[in-house]
Amino acid sequence: MTSTHQEIWEKCLAIIKDNVNTQSFKTWFDPIVPVKLEGKILTIQVPSLFFFEWLEEHYVSLLKKTIKKEMGPGAKLEYNIIVENSSGGTKPHTIKVPTQRNKSDDDLEISIPTSGTSIKNPFIIPGIKKVNVDSQLNAAYSFSNFIEGDCNRLARSAGQAVAARPGGTSFNPLFIYGGVGLGKTHLAQAIGNQVKENLKNKTVLYITSEKFTSQFVESIKNNSINDFVNFYQLIDLLIVDDVQFFANKDKTQDIFFHIFNHLQQNGKQLVLTSDRPPKDLQGLEERLLSRFKWGLSADIQIPDFETRYAIMEHKMYADGIELSKDVIEYVAYTMTGNVRELEGALISLLAHSSLTRKEIDLQLAKDILKNFVKQTTKELTIEHIQKLVCDHFEMPVDLLKSKTRKRHIVQARQISMYFAKNFTRSSLSNIGKHFGGRDHSTVIHACQTVQDLMQTDTRFKNKVIELEKLINVNFK
């Protein structure tokens, strides 16, 4: 009895199932539908051109061997690909496409729509020409108003390198991470704006992970996943904000994984932002996390006093505002959180001054900022920090100033220097003098060591946080 196309395909699936893992089988072979069998040509239907390309790239050898085993020498596959045009219909015709894996193998015949097909743009912009793709960027975000400091120097430098040669550096993807309000979105969009300005032939797109997910869900509802994927594969620089919100969205992760692969393999640039480094992201597939780590991961930290001061000065210059040096220092010293809080404090000062027609002096700044932070009840000094840290570690303060290199003493000394830099107005040289006459480079090294350990050692990080809470309780 002659086998039908369904029976042939069922036998093929049984072989394929033994050669791929369960997830791959469900993703790439379950959706295939056998269509017809004519002589030794088996026609199978796949959901999209993207789907076919993936099979051709990863499973063409397995498919060929399986078909020939079941149907004998000379057996061929014909692909029938579902592609919808903008009006919802298709007009297929058959063409020959050479296999990518083995040029000596028989050609695969596929059925695809005519060239008149247009792809739907998920941003509801007519046509698919690159000039019609709105970048979704905020023009206010640029490198010129992104203030550089120790807290963001690596990320900013990498961003400028990417903006100069998108897809042409080893920073692909560029993964920028840090807490809320520290400037991740600003830096990511600054990259996009510079590329858009200097490389006008490049297509740039900024999108949040939530917007990407909602577009994908909408494409499922409209049966236009192929259009969705093809649209994103056109982008030269794709910026995705807050990728941590892809967590536990398996289908969204799957489609983003394939878009990521296509862009990366074709020399296109990806810039991703998150509130934490790739290693700490939960609910994301390992294959996606591994790709996030391919390029460069650069963090943006809470700005130090010098950077906060520079941000204040830049903001004042941009808005045509003048404040006395003591007011600027007080605001920069007091607002130790993120950049948004710092800018919010400045806006409040300006608004209050405008409404009350009062000049902004130090006393007015103190009165207004008490709504943002607790006021300092006593001046915090390096000596206070040394005593508090030594009490916590149960050691005399003199040991911090000694030459000993015992591990627990060195660690207490480094933490004390770190707090002295962040919580006092002392210069690095002055801080070093309080620790046995050490120079400023030792202080810089100590602060960097503490920051690095907080990123990699949870117990150490919790210890620093606990000490910081003690400082806030005693001196704020």
Verify that 240 and 254 share a domain, yes or no.
Answer: yes
Which position has the higher pLDDT, 276 or 3?
A: 276
CATH at residue 106? 3.30.300.180
Verify that 165 and 281 share a domain, yes or no.
Answer: yes
Q: Is residue 108 part of a domain?
A: yes
Check residue 409 and give its pLDDT: 92
Check residue 185 and give its pLDDT: 93
CATH at residue 330? 1.10.8.60
Verify that 447 and 388 share a domain, yes or no.
Answer: yes
Q: How confident is the model at residue 71 (pLDDT cuts 50, 70, 90)?
A: confident
For the entire predicted model, the pTM comes to 0.53
Residue 365 has pLDDT above 80, yes or no: no
CATH at residue 443? 1.10.1750.10
Residue 107 has pLDDT above 50, yes or no: no
Q: With beta carbons less than 8 A apart as the criterion, state whether 113 and 83 touch.
A: yes
Q: Is residue 180 part of a domain?
A: yes
Please tell me the least confidently modeled range out of 70-74, 306-310, 384-388, 403-407.
Answer: 306-310
Measured CA distances, 383 to 24, 414, 466 (Å) = 62, 14, 19
Check residue 468 and give its pLDDT: 85
Segment 303-311 shows an average pLDDT of 79
Verify that 167 and 290 share a domain, yes or no.
Answer: yes
Check residue 242 and give its pLDDT: 93
Check residue 100 and give its pLDDT: 38
CATH at residue 193? 3.40.50.300
Domain that residue 355 falls in? 305-369
Verify that 288 and 185 share a domain, yes or no.
Answer: yes
Range from 57-61, 106-110, 321-325, 451-455 that averages highest in pLDDT: 451-455
Verify that 183 and 296 share a domain, yes or no.
Answer: yes
Q: Is residue 93 part of a domain?
A: yes
Verify that 425 and 459 share a domain, yes or no.
Answer: yes
Domain's final residue, options 250, 270, 300: 300
Segment 307-329 shows an average pLDDT of 75
Verify that 209 and 344 share a domain, yes or no.
Answer: no
Check residue 25 and give its pLDDT: 83
Q: How confident is the model at residue 55 (pLDDT cuts 50, 70, 90)?
A: confident
Which position has the higher pLDDT, 315 or 293?
A: 293
Residue 88 has pLDDT above 80, yes or no: no
Verify that 295 and 364 share a domain, yes or no.
Answer: no
Residue 98 has pLDDT above 60, yes or no: no
Domain's final residue, options 113, 134, 164: 113
pLDDT tens for 213-257 read 999 998 888 888 888 888 898 899 999 999 999 999 999 999 999
Separation between Cα atoms, residue 476 and residue 469, nearest integer Å: 10
Q: How confident is the model at residue 355 (pLDDT cuts 50, 70, 90)?
A: confident
Q: Is residue 462 part of a domain?
A: yes
Verify that 173 and 105 share a domain, yes or no.
Answer: no
Q: What percent of the chain shows pLDDT beyond 90?
A: 25
Which position has the higher pLDDT, 191 or 334?
A: 191
Domain's final residue, options 334, 369, 404: 369
Check residue 83 and give its pLDDT: 53
Verify that 109 and 213 share a domain, yes or no.
Answer: no
Check residue 371 and give its pLDDT: 63
Verify that 309 and 295 share a domain, yes or no.
Answer: no
Residue 289 has pLDDT above 70, yes or no: yes
Q: How confident is the model at residue 73 (pLDDT cuts 50, 70, 90)?
A: confident
Q: Is residue 137 part of a domain?
A: no
Q: Is residue 374 part of a domain?
A: no
Q: Is residue 461 part of a domain?
A: yes
Q: Is residue 148 part of a domain?
A: no
Domain count, the chain: 4
